[in-house]
Amino acid sequence: MLAYTAKRLLTLIPTLLAASILVFLFVHLIPGDPAAILLGDTATPEEVAQLSAEMGFDRPLYVQYFIWLGNVLQGDLGTSIFFRQPVLSVIGSGAETSILLASMTMIWIILIGLPIGILSATKQGTWIDQITSSGAMLAASIPTFWLGLYLIMIFSVTLGWFPSSGFPSLSDHGGITNLRYLLLPSLTLAAPNAALIVRLVRASMLDVSREDHVRTARAKGLHPTRVAIKHIFRNALIAVAAAFGFTFAALISEAVVTETVFSLPGIGRLVVQSILRRDYPVIQGVILVIVVLYMVVNLAVDLAYARLDPRVSLK
């Protein structure tokens, strides 16, 4: 497994290089000049050109790319044009929120999605199955911005139980109790994702339940719960594991709507705002980090397959 992991990690290098070229070109070829945004509406074209040159954007694109790449190889993602802070520090600040939000959401998904999915599969065709399946469809269909705003109206404005928005760092005033800021956003994000997991667990378990080894287990007289959990659910987990991995990665990089509604300083909102501001170093840095994240998740899912299914060999 170690050799396999090392080999997979090595394949990251050409992929990252290709991604870096694509990201750099994409970012620099869209119209818009960060100098113009910095200086505002009253700046003249001459003033914008002067500042643009001071920031090095008048150099040929390939020169800018190699300077940036050279710095990245030394672990320096550059300095944010907008925040005047190292890109790593800007991403780090967003990553704290995104990782905590994604983790809390995953907890909800596991707590809600797995039991209901198992229940739905084991009670296939009954009224319980119909209610859980309909509930999952409803949860998957609700737009997150709508659900988020309603949760704010009920639990923040009316009941005053939870903060409406924002997320102070865990190192800020409040410490660990600042996690309460993420309760409503994580529930908002969990609703559609848990619904998908319910559907997936149900479908996978029904597939597995028709296999020979399950029939054998039942024929041996094993308790139905033991059959459901040990023989069906464990095998169904192979498909679910991949979904968990990519859901986690997506929760970190694509939670922009929820982050906007709850005003969370996460990665998704950071990348959108940075595109609007043409903060090239931050856009490049964040996208590179997201690419790495997806590749690592992909690898982790493959390793998990081997763990869950002894028939899978890693070569």
Partner 1 sequence: MKLKIWMKSALAVGALMTLTSGAYADGMLRYATVGEPPSLDQQVVTSDLATTIAHHMFEGLYTFNASNAPVPLLASGETVSADGKTIVIALREGVKFHNGQAMTSADVLASLQRWGEFGSRGSLIFDHVDSVEASGDYEITINLKEPFGPWKNLMAFINGGPAIYPASVMEGATKEPISPDQYIGTGPYKFNEWEANRYVELVRFDGYISPEGAADGYGGERATNFDTLRFIPVSDVGTRVAGVRAGDYDYAESIPGDLFADLDADTGVKTMLNGGPIFGLVFLNSSDGPLKENFALRRAIQTAIDKTPALQVAIGPEGLWRANGSFAPEGSVWATKAGTENYSRGDAEAAKAMAAEAGYDGQPIKFMVSTNYPFHYDSAIVYTKQLAQAGFNIDLQVYDWATLIEKRAQPDQWDLFFTHHGFVPDPILISVMNDNYPGWWATPEKKALKDRFTASSDPSERQKIWAELQALIYEQVPTMKTGDVYTYNIASPKLKGLGKQTLIWPSFWNVSK
Per CB under 8 A, residues contacting partner 1 are 30-33, 36-48, 50-51, 54-55, 80, 82-85, 89-90, 93-94, 149, 152-153, 156-157, 160-169, 173-174, 177, 179-180, 183, 260-263, 265-266, 269-270, 273, 276-278
Measured distance CA(157)–CA(160) in Å, rounded? 6
Q: Which is nearer to partner 1, 5 or 64 (CB)?
A: 64
User: Please, what is the minimum distance in Å from the beta carbon of residue 31 to partner 1?
Assistant: 4
Closest CB 40 distance from partner 1, rounded Å: 4
Nearer to partner 1, 14 or 31 (CB): 31
Point out which residues pair with 86 in neighbouring strands. Answer: 79
List 79's β-bridge partners, or say none: 86
Q: What DSSP designation does 233 have?
A: I
Listing DSSP states for 71-124 in one string gives: HHHTT---B-TTT-SBHHHHHHHHHHHHHHHHHHHHHHIIIIIHHHHHHHHHTT
Give the shortest CB-240-to-partner 1 separation in angstroms: 28
CA neighbours within 13 Å on the CB side: how many for 256?
10
Measured from the CB atom, the residue of 80 and 253 that comes closer to partner 1 is 80
Nearer to partner 1 (CB atom), residue 131 or residue 257 = 257
Work out how close the CB of 60 gets to partner 1 at its nearest, in angstroms, rounded to a whole number.
19
- Minimal distance, residue 24 CB to partner 1, in Å: 18
What's the Cα-to-Cα distance from 172 to each of 13, 69, 97, 175, rounded to whole Å?
37, 34, 13, 6
Contacts of 130 (CB under 8 A, 6+ apart): none
Nearer to partner 1, 112 or 121 (CB): 112
